[in-house]
Amino acid sequence: MSKNLCKNPIVILISGGGSNMAAIVRAAQTGRWRERFDAEVSAVISNRADAGGLAFAREQGIVTAVLNHRDYATREAFDAALAAQIDLYQPALVVLAGFMRILTPDFVARYAGRLLNIHPSLLPAFPGLHTHQRAIDAGCCFAGATVHQVTAQLDHGPILKQAVVPVLPGDTAHTLAARVLTQEHRIYPQAIEDHLRGV
Q: Hey, what domains does the chain have and what are their CATH numbers?
A: 8-119+146-162+187-197 (3.40.50.170)
Burial class (CB in 10 A: 0-12, 13-18, 19+), 161: middle
Residue 168's CB: how many other CB atoms inside 10 A?
Answer: 10
Residues of the chain above pLDDT 90, percent: 96
Question: What are the residues whose beta carbons fall under 8 Å from the beta carbon of 162, sequence distance 6 or more?
Answer: 122, 123, 144, 145, 146, 147, 187
Quick: pLDDT tens for 11-56: 999 999 999 999 999 999 999 999 999 999 999 999 999 999 999 9
- How many angstroms separate the Cα of 34 from the Cα of each of 4, 14, 80, 83, 113? 13, 22, 29, 24, 21
SS3 call for 114: coil
pLDDT one-digit tens code per residue, 84-128: 999 999 999 999 999 999 999 999 999 999 999 999 999 999 999
69 is catalytic: no
Give the Cα separation of 129 and 133 in Å (integer).
Answer: 9
Residue 199 has pLDDT above 70, yes or no: no
Active-site pick, 119, 132, 148, 185:
119
